[in-house]
A and B are shown apart, each in its own frame.
Chain A
């Protein structure tokens, strides 16, 4: 690890810890505040009984209904773009399959983008159709996590709170004010925020250049804070008008991790065991640090094939990277954005060194629990906690117990399903894509001698496909973006299969987490016995990290060895031979 990356990483995690503690306590206070008179009036107006708390089923149905209604709204706005005002000349309705994929992508907090913002989405589509989902999907995730925390902190009850009340509070007291502060800061550093239309000039070369502007800063802020990741511009956070300098880059990385990290603190508040929250935070930090170290190491190597041409590669692998970020800030950003289910990028992951590109892919495949998405990261992590406690119970031959609750067969079954569903989706999806013409046609990095020749099997091509399904099922949204997932000639295959993967990676898991919440809330207090695993301290941290790594590695190592690992061996051999 280079000294600068080390310093940057230490500064980043120190700032994160300082931010997470007050924010996490703020979350606990916000969602447990007594019902205010105006909140009662709003709920009544919406046709919701403010005095009837939701069971886990009510909560799940409300979350699903809201997600589906907003999905339809976003789809409709994209399809109607041509008929509505608020878009630049030349932009038309978003094609049906692309609109389906995009609406699904934003409603599931994935923000996979099969389109380029500049040539597809006008002001209205960006600011309303897409930005709205940046708020909505993050808020839904946050609500579900809070419901699970209530399940872990209440006894012998069915009541998990009221989804609609939580939804309103998530927006008004967390996401909107947080985004507003961040957006104004970003604009002050050069992130565009104007409705003045495109900026046009004549370049030094004499060519006319027209770069679209819009309400970028307000969209960028919630894109990060909500771990969404869908960029205004095609280049996402690599575009200088989304991420102009090292300071905005740091702020954007902190915003990605802010709520997922704060929720670890919120966990400690809810279960009245701050050391448990700290232990989960520590486990996540260790996994994130491992990712940064590995990624930084491989990206600093530089491309041996370029070195053989007479290029000085001491600055590392700069293909697909911005010079103002360099290898260090790009490596940290790529780790943060894939540990969290954000998926914003400030460098092109497809152009990473083979083992460098393995790191973000594996981060996603670990289940988006290394801090993870807003809400979804915590409820995913708690599923792994249940598995860790269960395994510890097996090891000592006692009934596993977590926070004074006996973990029974139903809980473990829910947790196992939670882990298996996305893994199955990723591996089957990628397998289908590489054996069908429609799937192979989208690949950029083939083994063929020229770019436009038909598919030739190459490990990097497999990596592009595997990354796509990992990103979709993990609700991440970043890409090995050489993959063409939508084209006029082949609109259906990836739009449909990745869309399904995004739904499967979001809605069933949300329901499973809520079912677990319901199960936990109903249980009686069990006093901890001598077989109980303490859920704080280094032993628990090690066990949690171990379970996450072993499950992820066992599931994905075979596929990864055919992609990035083989490519690494090929590159080493080719570089050495010249």
Chain B
């Protein structure tokens, strides 16, 4: 019993510090210093929210959208009770049959649009979050011909756009070469 009073006292006091004062202070500071980042780095066309610069979007049937660049495979799902996007990976090991089946399906879809040669691995595998916004520059390049054809634009125009949207590692050291698929697709739409 001698221990109950300090246990309860410090639980209550530290709850106030850690779960009210601390998050409130961080929220106020974040709102003041980084209003865009703290609310989700949203991309807008006019007043319409089109998504987040940080979150990838998927196509239920990519082959129906040859005019857009396709991102990585995704294991994200929708929670039926809340309607929220639930992030996550496939958790399949390297020998899992479905891992190879999904890769084959994506390869077939790409081959059907005229892609020949080896396909970059990021285009046939699922990301950890299911919301990876990026693909590699190589994965963008194998799609340029298809997108150009579907939009009636020259390969050169699309290539320039991809190059302009290729992000480099921070300080040449941190991160990978990558292309933000949603930002690139919105830029394609803006060409029209």
Contacts from A to B (Cβ < 8 Å)? 4, 7-8, 11, 42, 45-48, 61-62, 65-66, 68-70, 73, 88-92, 116, 118-119, 127-128, 131-132, 135-136, 164, 167-168, 171-172, 176, 179-180, 183-184, 187-196, 198-205, 207-213, 215, 217-219, 221-222, 233-235, 238-241, 244-247, 249-250, 302-303, 305-306, 309-326, 328-329, 345-348, 350-351, 353-354, 357, 444-445, 449-451, 458, 460, 463, 480-482, 567, 570-571, 574
Which 6 A-B pairs have CB atoms at the shortest separation, nearest pair first?
Answer: A246-B175, A238-B128, A482-B91, A246-B174, A187-B30, A90-B82
With both beta carbons as reference points, the residue of chain B lying nearest to A449 in the complex is identified as B97
Q: Are B38 and A194 in contact (CB under 8 A)?
A: yes
Interface residues of B in 102-142 (CB under 8 A from A): 103-104, 107, 118-122, 124-136, 138
A210-B83 contact in complex given A305-B94, A306-B103, A480-B91, C-beta closer than 8 Å: yes
Q: Are A244 and B178 in contact (CB under 8 A)?
A: no
Q: Are A324 and B134 in contact (CB under 8 A)?
A: yes
Q: How far is the CA of A195 from the CA of B38 in the complex (A)?
A: 10
Question: Across the interface, which residues of B come within 8 angstroms of A309, CB to CB?
Answer: 100, 103-104, 107, 124
Q: Are B92 and A8 in contact (CB under 8 A)?
A: no
Task: State the main secondary structure of chain A at its contact with B.
Answer: mixed
Q: How far is the CA of A522 from the CA of B147 in the complex (A)?
A: 76
Q: Are B119 and A310 in contact (CB under 8 A)?
A: yes
B91 to chain A, nearest CB (A): 4
Question: Across the interface, which residues of A come within 8 angstroms of B86, CB to CB?
Answer: 116, 118-119, 234
A449 to chain B, nearest CB (A): 6
Contacts from B to A (Cβ < 8 Å)? 2-11, 13-15, 17-19, 22-23, 25-27, 29-31, 33-34, 37-42, 48-55, 57-60, 65, 68, 72, 79, 81-100, 103-104, 107, 118-122, 124-136, 138, 169-170, 173-176, 178, 182, 185
Question: Across the interface, which residues of A come within 8 angstroms of B94, CB to CB?
Answer: 303, 305, 317, 319, 351, 353-354, 571
Question: Across the interface, which residues of B come within 8 angstroms of A46, CB to CB?
Answer: 5-6, 9-10, 13
Question: Across the interface, which residues of B come within 8 angstroms of A92, CB to CB?
Answer: 81
Q: Are B18 and A131 in contact (CB under 8 A)?
A: yes
Q: How far is the CA of A62 from the CA of B99 in the complex (A)?
A: 50
What are 13 A-B pairs with beta-carbon distances under 8 A?
A65-B6, A66-B11, A89-B82, A118-B84, A188-B34, A193-B31, A195-B27, A204-B65, A211-B55, A233-B129, A240-B55, A318-B127, A351-B89
Q: Are A482 and B92 in contact (CB under 8 A)?
A: yes
With both beta carbons as reference points, the residue of chain A lying nearest to B68 in the complex is identified as A204
A319-B126 contact in complex given A215-B27, A571-B94, C-beta closer than 8 Å: yes
Q: Are B39 and A196 in contact (CB under 8 A)?
A: yes
Q: How far is the CA of A208 from the CA of B87 in the complex (A)?
A: 15
Partner of A211, one of B85, B104, B119: B85
Q: Are A246 and B169 in contact (CB under 8 A)?
A: yes
With both beta carbons as reference points, the residue of chain A lying nearest to B52 in the complex is identified as A199
Q: How far is the CA of A421 from the CA of B114 in the complex (A)?
A: 59
A320-B40 contact in complex given A180-B22, A240-B55, A306-B100, C-beta closer than 8 Å: no
A348-B89 contact in complex given A199-B52, A318-B122, A319-B99, C-beta closer than 8 Å: yes
Q: Are B6 and A47 in contact (CB under 8 A)?
A: yes
A319-B90 contact in complex given A7-B173, A306-B124, C-beta closer than 8 Å: yes
A306-B121 contact in complex given A193-B38, A239-B129, C-beta closer than 8 Å: yes
Q: Are B59 and A481 in contact (CB under 8 A)?
A: no
Question: Across the interface, which residues of B come within 8 angstroms of A189, CB to CB?
Answer: 34, 37
B72 to chain A, nearest CB (A): 7
